């Protein structure tokens, strides 16, 4: 990092310390009075330039990448060819146009009610160097397309890294605004907390809207990994029409490196990325004691070495703490079972979606509660995780505008507006989180807080 970069980072941190009285657990929570559009948004038409299919025969489309292993030295490249399988190669190298190596992926299609997908390709590039820019090309002839990505830095104690955080995106004009705002940020990869395309809001879960959504995110997701979480809108469960396999479109289209973290399901997995271990949970899969997800989570938490990845981040869809009237208390079953482990293993921050609004809590826990002692008031404690609800990506269902009153003591800031978040991990002790509403300029933070590392504080 340059001297100028280090100075700028220090200035930002100092300004945050001086300005963020709302980050203190002793300060009253804030319910924003900002006035925004509350009406449901409108989906982008299928012929909109941001989502329409390419005109060229069998041109690769819907390109996106995901981290391909636990350590961060592999990438999953995924794309669709509509007309035929075509060339399944991914050429790659460190110089644009000079591709010395290639991998060949797998390709298949799936059917959902009256829809049949194009040919979905997944190829894994492995053995990559840390913190290195790679160029890659897919397709051949006049439909060949080139992209690039940067691998994460090697996981070390004081590695810095910046994550974007998005949830409940959909494919409306507001979704496009969220995406454009994020792409002008410093985010290096996206933590996505579920509810992707909202295709299930259409009759028969029109899977064409999975295609349009994947084309919408390509300008970001083809160049940096989106670390995905499954939400309720990914279930696509339609038994009355013969569709009895949950998550069918989602798991066909989006691959995760679940096996590298010893998971038995692509819906829950973990990765290391720079200074953080990221654990992804599935709110809509069994999580009770003795279930595969329960057993896996305990093993994943024990596996984390905070001397290597000092930050521990958990992603889920349904929030464990939420003072909005929408989906209030829905996360309570998972909180009762999992919160004790999040506190015990000193998780730093838990990101969730589902509620179409933004909310940040103080560090909070309620592990002392049981039905016998009657102690049911969450305690603000610096050793507990911060919970951030960020289901405000812009989807067609609109905003969750009604909050519970009075504002809960654990709630630090809440607002019903569309936007995205940025988590800037600066060293092994502190990270700087900012939330950006779409109505503001890209660099304007509507809420911000310094998050202290629970293990190293």
Which amino acids are annotated catalytic?
Answer: 327
Reference 415, options 347, 455, 365, 358; nearest CA is: 358
Beta bridge pairs of residue 31? 414
Burial label, 243 (beta-carbon count in 10 A; 0-12, 13-18, 19+): middle
C-alpha dihedral sign at 205, 209, 214, 220: negative
Residues 6+ apart with CB under 8 A from 160: 1, 9, 153, 274, 275, 424, 425, 426, 427
Beta bridge pairs of residue 350? 314, 387
Reference 122, options 229, 257, 269; nearest CA is: 257
Distance of alpha carbon 389 from alpha carbon 350, whole angstroms: 8
Question: Do the Cβ atoms of 175 and 216 come closer than 8 Å?
Answer: yes
Sheet with 30-31, side-by-side order of all strands:
30-31, 411-415, 358-361, 386-390, 349-352, 311-315, 276-280, 269-273
Residues 6+ apart with CB under 8 A from 20: 448, 449, 450
Question: Do the Cβ atoms of 196 and 168 come closer than 8 Å?
Answer: no
- DSSP reduced 3-state for 339: helix
Q: How many CB atoms lie within 10 A of CB 397?
A: 17
């Amino acid at each position: 990092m340059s001297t100028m970069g280090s100075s700028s980072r220090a200035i930002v941190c100092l300004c945050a310390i001086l300005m963020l009285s709302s980050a203190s657990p002793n300060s009253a929570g804030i319910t924003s009075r900002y006035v925004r559009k509350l009406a449901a948004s409108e989906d982008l038409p299928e012929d909109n330039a941001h989502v329409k299919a390419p005109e060229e025969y069998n041109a690769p489309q819907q390109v996106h990448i995901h981290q391909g292993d636990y350590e961060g030295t592999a990438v999953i490249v995924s794309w669709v060819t509509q007309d035929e399988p075509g060339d399944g190669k991914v050429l790659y190298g460190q110089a644009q146009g000079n591709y010395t190596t290639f991998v060949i992926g797998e390709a298949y299609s799936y059917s959902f009610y009256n829809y049949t997908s194009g040919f979905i390709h997944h190829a894994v590039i492995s053995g990559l160097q840390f913190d290195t820019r790679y160029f890659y090309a897919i397709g051949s002839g006049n439909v060949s397309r080139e992209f690039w990505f940067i691998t994460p830095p090697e996981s070390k104690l004081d590695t810095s890294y910046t994550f974007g955080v998005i949830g409940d995106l959909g494919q409306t004009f507001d979704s496009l605004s969220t995406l454009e705002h994020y792409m002008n940020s410093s985010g290096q990869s996206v933590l996505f907390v579920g509810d992707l395309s909202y295709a299930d809001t259409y009759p028969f879960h029109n899977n064409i809207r999975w295609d349009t959504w994947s084309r919408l995110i390509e300008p970001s997701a083809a160049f940096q990994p989106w670390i995905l979480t499954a939400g309720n809108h990914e279930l696509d469960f339609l038994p009355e029409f013969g569709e009895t396999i949950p998550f069918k479109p989602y798991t066909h289209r989006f691959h995760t490196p679940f096996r590298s973290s010893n998971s038995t399901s692509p819906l829950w997995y973990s990765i290391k990325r720079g200074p953080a271990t990221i654990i992804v949970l599935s709110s809509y899969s069994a999580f009770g004691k003795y279930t595969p997800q329960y057993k896996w989570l305990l093993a994943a938490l024990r596996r984390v070495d905070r001397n290597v990845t000092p930050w521990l981040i958990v992603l889920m869809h349904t929030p464990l703490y939420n003072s909005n009237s929408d989906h209030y208390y829905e996360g309570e079953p998972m909180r009762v079972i999992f919160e004790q482990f999040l506190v015990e293993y000193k998780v730093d921050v838990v990101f969730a979606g589902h509620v179409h609004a933004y909310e940040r809590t103080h560090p909070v826990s309620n592990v002392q509660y049981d039905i016998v002692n009657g102690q049911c008031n969450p305690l603000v404690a610096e050793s507990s995780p911060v919970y951030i609800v960020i289901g405000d990506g812009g989807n067609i269902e609109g905003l969750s505008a009604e909050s519970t009153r009075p504002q809960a003591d654990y709630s630090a800031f809440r607002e019903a507006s569309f936007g995205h978040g940025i988590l800037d991990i600066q060293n092994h002790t502190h990270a700087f989180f900012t939330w950006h509403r779409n109505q503001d300029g890209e660099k304007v933070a509507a809420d911000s807080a310094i998050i202290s590392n629970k293990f190293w504080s």
